[in-house]
Structure 1
Amino acid sequence: MFFLRSRPQRQPRNNDFELRLFKKRLVVAFIFMILLSLVLLGNLVYLQVYCYSKYQTRANDNRIKLVPQAPSRGLIYDRNHIVLADNRPLFSLEIIPENSRNLRNDIEDLKELLNLELESDDIDRITERTRFQRKFLPVTIAENLTEIQVATFAVNKYRFPGARIEAKLKRYYPFSETFTHTIGYVARINQQDLSQLEARGKINNYAATNDIGKQGIEKYYEDLLHGISGYREVEVDSHSREIRTLNQVSPTPGNDITLTIDARLQLKAQHLLHRKRGAVVMMNPRNGEILAMFSSPTYDPNPFVRGIKSREYRDLINNPDRPLINRVTQGGYAPASTVKPLMIIMGLNEELITSSTRFFGGPFFQLPGSTHKFRDWRKWGHGWMDIFRAVEISADTFFYDLAFRAGIDRINRYMNKFGMGRHTGIDIYEESLGNMPSKSWKKKRFKKDWVPGDTVSIGIGQGYWTATLLQLARAHAILTQNGRNIRPHLLRFASDPTGINPTTYIEPDENIALPVRDSKYWDYARTGMCLVINGPEGTGKKAFAHTPYTVCGKSGTAQIVGIKQDARYNASALKETHRDNGLFVAFANKDNPEVLVAVIVENMGGAGRVAAPTARAMLDEYFRIRNTPCTADELVALKEQYRAEEEQEDLERQKESKKR
């Protein structure tokens, strides 16, 4: 028997239910679409309205680029408006890799065509550099091309579609080594410079600048000389190629600086110190204007601008004559007898001596209870003297006695007022403090107590006392101005070439550095210095004979090594670097002095041999050219004249050495 399964009966469709369900789903989907549309519309409003400026800036950043433009650096002139630091066009050879058919071959062909000083390693570095930058950006092949090289490239440019010549302004010092220690130089910005600029908030102003002041005036007045950077607003494509310039803000050039230096006096100082180690500084003691400041030997700053080679810099560093040192502001020397007029001021004001003091100067001075003899420079002594004759003949025993009675504390206090052991305030950073010793200084430096014998040596500017030549000049300038503070300076004025900003000057300091009981004390010290030149026993009488102007001065002979008690100084038996230094300080005229000169000549014996004649020659030159203008052509002719004389002098020296 077969059983048949019955088929289930289908439920009838509920069309109304399905229709209601469909409508519900349709409503939900429609609401969801409306919500999504509202979200999209809201986001669109938010981006287009509320964030408009934000995204417009981002879009412009992708489309518009700011290209910084470096300002032209201010020029530096001497007081006669002769250019001492100039900006000259520097031609560099560049190549754009994407426009070159074969980059390495093009560089090698350019090397051969223009006779470039490129080694295989240099070419490797250039090609390697292109791997890490965009191909449309130029790469520098060579700098400082000559006019002949530029002309040769111009004729053959069609052979090198990717190469081009770019002209940039570069610093140039037309008188090379004559003003190096005064003006300094500029060189490429390094990481330390960048850190300092960032700390001072000036980094953006150097976006297009490659060089910065490194020494001297160039560094001290960097903010005045540099100027303000400009920029070009350019439109670029997606690969950052420039399409067109939209806007341009021109850079503001740096201020031009006029120095107090007279280039003729500077050349004279250089000529006088030819083949010598030493320095000359000449200034106006009334207002502190530096008229000449030369340190010998010197060096050419132009290689630092182009990028000095390692070998060149190593030669400067290893030179035993140390040309990198500015001997005017960084050389530490025993001031020797040049400080004796300053000691007179101290003694008078402390009532240790008077204008009528009488002192017997024997061959030596001894401390009470001591057998050590502090000998005078004249082995038989000087006999009876007053304060004027003591300065005139530079009697050591007089100042040994004065220093012993004064004590180091009083000497230190007065010499600090004269600027010893302190910065002079000159407007360059390269300045040493020297050393004005004290009891606490010796205890800290040597872990020993100060003894009376130390003070005795200080009385004649020896012992632990060291000073820079500029400190010595400033101290005597204070003496000529009856104690008024004198700030040496090199800036005469700075002027904005655009005429927008006011001219900058250095105002004279009217403060009194050293008040005294009686203003006659100043005249007493100056009278002693005038006797040095004009008195019957003056140590500078020979060097300044028959001057048409009235000079006052003081010589100094500084020992480098000690001499035994009973031994005599014999220069020929000593190494050259152990021989005495000669110093001389002089001012003219006697009444209301207008010029002061200080000279140091290393290891050439007493002051009368070289230092005093050098001071005389500088003063002669000052009065010869005073109030006389000078042109650049005249200065170049003067430099050539001095060079010819120096070459002749060198020839004569060679002949003498051959005879020996």
Structure 2
Amino acid sequence: MPAPIRLKDHEVDTRLIRGRLLVGAVAVILLTLLLVSRMYYLQVVQFEHHSTLAENNRIHVQSLPPTRGMIYDRNGVVVADNRASFSLTLTRERAGDWETVLDSIIEVLELDADSRELFEKRIRQGRRPFEPVPVMFELTEEQIARVAVNQFRLPGVEVAASLVRYYPQKEHFAHSVGYVGRINEGELKKLDAVNYSGTHHIGKTGIERFYEDELHGQVGYEEVETNARGRVLRVLKRVEPISGEDIYLTLDIALQEAAEAALDGRRGAIVAIEPNTGEVLAMVSQPSFDPNPFVTGISFKAYGELRDSLDQPLFNRVLRGLYPPGSTIKPMVAIAGLDAGVITPSTRVFDPGFYQLPNNKHKYRNWNRYGDGWVDLDLALARSNDTYFYDLAHKLGIDRLHDYMSRFGFGQRVSLDMFEETAGLMPSRDWKRNRYRQSWYPGETLILGIGQGYMQTTPLQLAQSTALMASRGKWIRPHLARSVGGVQPVDTDPPADIVLRDQKAWEPARLGMEHVLHGARGTARKVGDAAAYRIAGKSGTAQVVAIKQGERYNREKTQERHRDHALFIAYAPAEKPQIAVAVMVENGESGSGVAAPVAKQVLDAWLLDEEGLLKSQYRPADSVLPVGVKR
């Protein structure tokens, strides 16, 4: 039997269609309401936010870096200038594939592969978004023209005019003024992001680093309207930057050049200080270097040559060089003995050419192996007699010796505004126990009394201790800045003056220093005889390599860089000191024969006029000495 035919139910179909239409209508209404509400939220609720975003696409705030403060010597000669320069900048966000753009720059300007590597390093350094990064400085007119012709190939690249630091005196002040360089990633994290926006350089060494805040100034800004390509159409608002403060140094370029000439190409250091003010008149570390390439970015090859040179031109010998002071500290040791009461000016010691501790066979040699016979303090200083000072050091002991030498600034930073200064080393019982876990031996006290052994000093410390001898213990920290923005720097924590139980105790030691140059048996009398004024000084020789007991120093068998260092300290005029000098000639061997003539040339340059006569302002009046002390 065939199946029945099913008839269509129109009523059911109608209900189904109506249900589907209702669901569709509700969905459409809901979607419409959602769209309308979203439009309301974006256009009404967030109107200010999106209008600001739209406005920012048109208006940008650009930083205006301040002009860095100038640096002058004490007479107004420019030593750190700002020179106009055209630089090539690249903004990564606008360049797109910036590595390809760098390749195009190299091709357009016909540069080498080293330049490509240097540019990439600069781009990869820490930076702020949309900040143009200088990749090349001091463009020539031809290079500027090439960039302009090929601008379509160089998106995000612009030629910008700016002021770049320039050091017209070049190597003369490299170790004192220092230099600026590009801000690295570590510095970027520590700096004020707002005040250094738009600034690409910061002080790296010397005065440039110590007074960075004063030299930098305050950033300005301007609001500009740009088109879709980022080109500035007009300036809407501008706040001018505040330039950095100018700095006048205590250094004198004429004396600086005279000191460099006195070294005559030898490795060494010279520091000249005005004892009454602490002003550093000259600060020489030789060899030196031209700081200008460091400003815009020195090539890897050029930097490698400086870094790897055996002469170490980048090394600041004045502040970081550590040398045994040798006999130059004997006047300070004499002051310690006089003040402690262990000797008097007439105390005598017999010198057979060596010194022995009680119950000890070891002989501590005098430089004069034949001995000087009976020696008092004056002759001991004039002759630089080691035996006398072995005995004096033994009488003082390490504890008192350490205390007195520390009062002269040894083993501590002495400057007011020299960032790179190292403290040196003034050894003590505690230091040796902590460093070597050993007791202090009496023999170590003896050699410390003649400036050998563990003791390490910088040329600046030697100059400061000499200034203290000249001023009879008046402590004024040596400083390089004479004024910053017209204001003289102030030492907020000056060291205590060296006050002796009897201030007359200064005179025998000072007189002994005079007799080094003007006494009949003085070690530097040839230099003193040629001087137009009286000089108080002390020579020193510092061993570079140790010599075995019983052996003699033989320069012919010693490599040039292993020979003794030559040192000399001096102040003049002796009656009314106006300048204190410390000289260190690396491997110079003889303090009296090599370093003393250098010191005299520096003193002459400061004290004598063009006719070779003592300048009128330095001619001392008759001075009165304590009873029993003769010149």
Shift of 1:383: 1.3
Matched, 1:189 2:183: yes
Tell me what 2:452 maps to.
Answer: 462
Write the mapping of 1:62-73 to structure 2, written as runs, cut at 5 A.
62-73=57-68
* Aligned CA distance change for structure 1 residues 147 and 262 (closer, same or farther; 3 Å): farther
Partner of 2:140: 146
SS at match of 1:610: helix
CA distance in 2, matches of 1:619, 1:160: 60
Taking the aligned partners of 1:605 and 1:617, their CA distance within structure 2 comes to 19
CA distance in 2, matches of 1:98, 1:488: 49
Question: CA contact under 8 A between 2:569 and 2:580: conserved in structure 1?
Answer: yes
Query: Aligned equivalents of 1:326 and 1:104: distance in 2?
Result: 39
Corresponding residue for 1:166? 160
Match of 1:80 in 2: 75
- Matches of 2:594 and 2:401 in 1, distance apart? 30
Which shows bigger deviation, 506-515 or 553-562? 506-515
Partner of 1:581: 565
1:159 Cα deviation after fit: 7.1
On the 8 A contact 1:561/1:578 being kept in 2, the answer is: yes
Give the residue type in structure 2 aligned to 1:588.
A
> Using a 3 Å threshold, how does the CA distance of structure 1 residues 625 and 62 change in structure 2: closer, same or farther?
farther
- Give the Cα–Cα distance (whole angstroms) in 2 for the partners of residues 95 and 329 of structure 1: 39
Q: Distance in 1 between matches of 2:94 and 2:410?
A: 65
Q: Which moved more, 1:414-423 or 1:602-611?
A: 602-611
1:408 is aligned to: 398
CA distance in structure 2 between the partners assigned to 1:457 and 1:600 by the alignment: 20
Deviations 1:147-205 (A, max 9, x none): 5655xx29x956757776432111111121111110111010001111221xxxx2211
Residue 522 of structure 1 corresponds to 506
Q: Deviations over 1:334-378 (max 9, x none)?
A: 101111110111101111001222222221100111110001111
Contact 2:74 2:250 in 1 (8 A): yes
Q: Is the 8 A contact 1:219 1:428 kept in 2?
A: no
Contact kept in structure 2, 1:540 and 1:608, CA below 8 Å? yes
Q: Give, as a single letter, the amino acid of the residue that structure 2 aligns with 1:420.
A: F
Change (3 A) 1:625 1:215: farther
- Residue among 397, 401, 419 paired with 2:387: 397
Please state if 1:231 is matched with 2:217. no
Asked if 1:212 is matched to 2:202, the reply is yes
Check if 1:537 corresponds to 2:537: no
Using the TM superposition, give the Cα deviation of residue 142 of structure 1 relative to its aligned residue in structure 2, in angstroms: 4.3
Indicate how the Cα distance of structure 1 residues 65 and 350 shifts in structure 2: closer, same or farther if over 3 A, else same: same
Q: How many residues align?
A: 570
The structure-2 alpha-carbon separation of the partners of 1:509 and 1:596, relative to structure 1 and needing over 3 Å to count, comes to farther
Correspondent of 2:602 among 618, 622, 634: 618
Compute the displacement of 1:576 (Å): 1.5
Q: State the alpha-carbon separation in 1 of the partners of residues 131 and 119 from structure 2.
A: 16
Q: How big is each residue's C-alpha offset from its partner over 1:277-333, in whole Å with a ceiling of 9 and x where there is no partner?
A: 110001101111000001011111111111112222222222122222111111111
* Partner AA of 1:193 in structure 2: E
Partner of 2:283: 293
Aligned to 1:472: 462
RMSD: 3.7
Q: Measured at CA, do residues 205 and 609 of structure 1 come closer, stay the same or move farther in structure 2, by a change above 3 Å?
A: same
Structure 2 CA distance for partners of 1:99 and 1:326, relative to 1, 3 Å: closer
One-letter amino acid of the counterpart of residue 252, structure 1 = I
Q: Is the 8 A contact 1:104 1:123 kept in 2?
A: no
Aligned ranges 1:358-377 → 2 under 5 Å: 358-377=348-367
SS for the counterpart of 2:224 is: strand
Q: 2:289, 2:569 → 1: CA distance?
A: 26
Q: Which amino acid aligns with 1:503?
A: V
User: What is the one-letter code of the residue matched to 2:138?
Assistant: N
- How far, CA to CA, are the matches of 1:484 and 1:521 in structure 2? 15
Contact 2:104 2:153 in 1 (8 A): no
Deviation of 1:108 after TM superposition, in Å, equals: 8.8
The Cα of 1:63 is off from its aligned counterpart by 4.3
Residues 35-114 of structure 1: pairs in structure 2 closer than 5 A: 60-93=55-88
Q: Distance in 2 between matches of 1:399 and 1:124?
A: 57
**Secondary structure at the counterpart of residue 204 of structure 1:** coil
Encode CA deviations 1:384-432: one digit per residue, 9 max, x unaligned. 2221111111111010001011110110011111110000124121111
Once residues 137 and 427 of structure 1 are traced to their aligned partners in structure 2, the CA distance between those partners, rounded to angstroms, is: 33
Change in Cα spacing, 1:595 to 1:508, as seen in structure 2 (3 Å) is: farther
Q: Per the alignment, in what secondary structure is the counterpart of residue 533 of structure 2?
A: coil
Contact 1:491 1:506 in 2 (8 A): no
Instruction: State the Cα distance separating 1:267 from its structure 2 match.
Output: 1.2
Match for residue 272 of structure 1 among 262, 266, 280: 262
> Does the C-alpha gap of structure 1 residues 210 and 97 become closer, same or farther in structure 2, counting only changes over 3 Å?
closer
Structure 1 residues 568 and 244, CA gap change in structure 2 (3 angstroms): same
For residues 213-612 of structure 1, the aligned pairs below 5 Å read 213-236=203-226, 241-495=231-485, 503-506=487-490, 512-612=496-596
Give the distance between the partners of 2:173 and 2:354, measured in 1 at CA: 45
Aligned partner of 1:431: which letter?
A: E
TM-score, with structure 1 as normaliser: 0.79
- Tell me, yes or no, if structure 1 residue 176 matches structure 2 residue 170: yes
SS in 1 for 2:111: coil
Post-superposition offset of 1:275: 2.8
Which deviations, in whole Å up to 9, do the C-alpha atoms of 1:12-66 show, x marking residues without a partner?
A: xxxxxxxxxxxxxxxxxxxxxxxx9xx99xx99x968xx9987776665454321
How many Å separate the matches in 1 of 2:325 and 2:266? 19
Decide which structure has the larger Cα Rg and report it.
Answer: 1
Aligned partner letter, 1:190: N
Q: 1:610 and 1:306, CA in 2 relative to 1: closer, same or farther beyond 3 A?
A: same
